[in-house]
A and B are shown apart, each in its own frame.
Chain A
Amino acid sequence: SQQGEEDPQALSIQEGENATMNCSYKTSINNLQWYRQNSGRGLVHLILIRSNEREKHSGRLRVTLDTSKKSSSLLITASRAADTASYFCATVSSGGSYIPTFGRGTSLIVHP
């Protein structure tokens, strides 16, 4: 079963625009991680946010976490064609399991 659910499933934008993807989950978490996956490749880790953190930044990426709503968002600012990929959130539960559980992902297309 998949704990995280990304929204939207697909997103198509123009270069230079911002892209926002959301992730909702069901159980208490230790941390939440965002990954990107280019077609035919493995996943690449982007950002990890812990349950006691509310916001983290890395370059053009901004991640927020609202544990009361059990949701997270990933914002990519000033998008580029090279940002075209699938983006996944993965949750690590607070119950002692070290198994990141992935959602179905958001497919982002950035048009040049």
Chain B
Amino acid sequence: GAGVSQTPSNKVTEKGKYVELRCDPISGHTALYWYRQSLGQGPEFLIYFQGTGAADDSGLPNDRFFAVRPEGSVSTLKIQRTERGDSAVYLCASSEQGGQPQHFGDGTRLSIL
């Protein structure tokens, strides 16, 4: 079956713009995670959804970052007033249940000029 799909694969935008990153998880997976990965680092946790609700958003760096999962499937990570420091690869992962093996998408490479 289909894996986790993330769109776009690349996004280049100017400082101050608004961006939306989309994640289509594996069908039936209730847990969905967003991570941010910088070069040479491991994934850094941003937010975890269990179903439609954000079970843990403690990793969001500030209030410019927001994520939704309105129907418990597709999720969108939204970044307002982007800054150059937001440049990174944004990874989405899903799992059948929280804490179980995760299936990752290939990420969105975000570049803020």
Asked if A100 and B105 sit within 8 Å, CB to CB, the answer is no
The contact of B99 among A35, A44, A98, A103, by CB within 8 Å, is A98
Measured between C-beta atoms, what is the minimum distance from A16 to chain B in Å? 28
Total A residues in contact with B, Cβ cutoff 8 Å: 24
Cα A31 to Cα B40 in complex, Å, equals 24
Within 8 A of B (CB), among A58-108: 88, 92, 97-105
Residues in A whose Cβ lies below 8 Å from that of B40: 104
Cα A45 to Cα B99 in complex, Å, equals 13
> In this assembly, does A42 line the interface, its C-beta being within 8 Å of a C-beta of chain B?
yes
- Known contacts A104-B40, A104-B42, A105-B42; A99 and B48 CB within 8 A of each other: yes
Residues in A whose Cβ lies below 8 Å from that of B55: 98
Give the bracket for the number of chain B residues in contact with chain A: 20 to 34
> In this assembly, does B79 line the interface, its C-beta being within 8 Å of a C-beta of chain A?
no
Measured between C-beta atoms, what is the minimum distance from B103 to chain A in Å? 7
Asked if B102 and A43 sit within 8 Å, CB to CB, the answer is yes
- A–B pairs, 14, beta carbons within 8 Å: A30-B99, A40-B106, A41-B107, A42-B4, A42-B105, A97-B56, A99-B56, A100-B102, A102-B35, A102-B43, A102-B45, A104-B42, A105-B41, A105-B42
Name 6 extra pairs, CB < 8 A, besides A88-B43, A98-B56, A100-B45. Answer: A42-B107, A43-B91, A97-B56, A98-B50, A101-B45, A104-B41
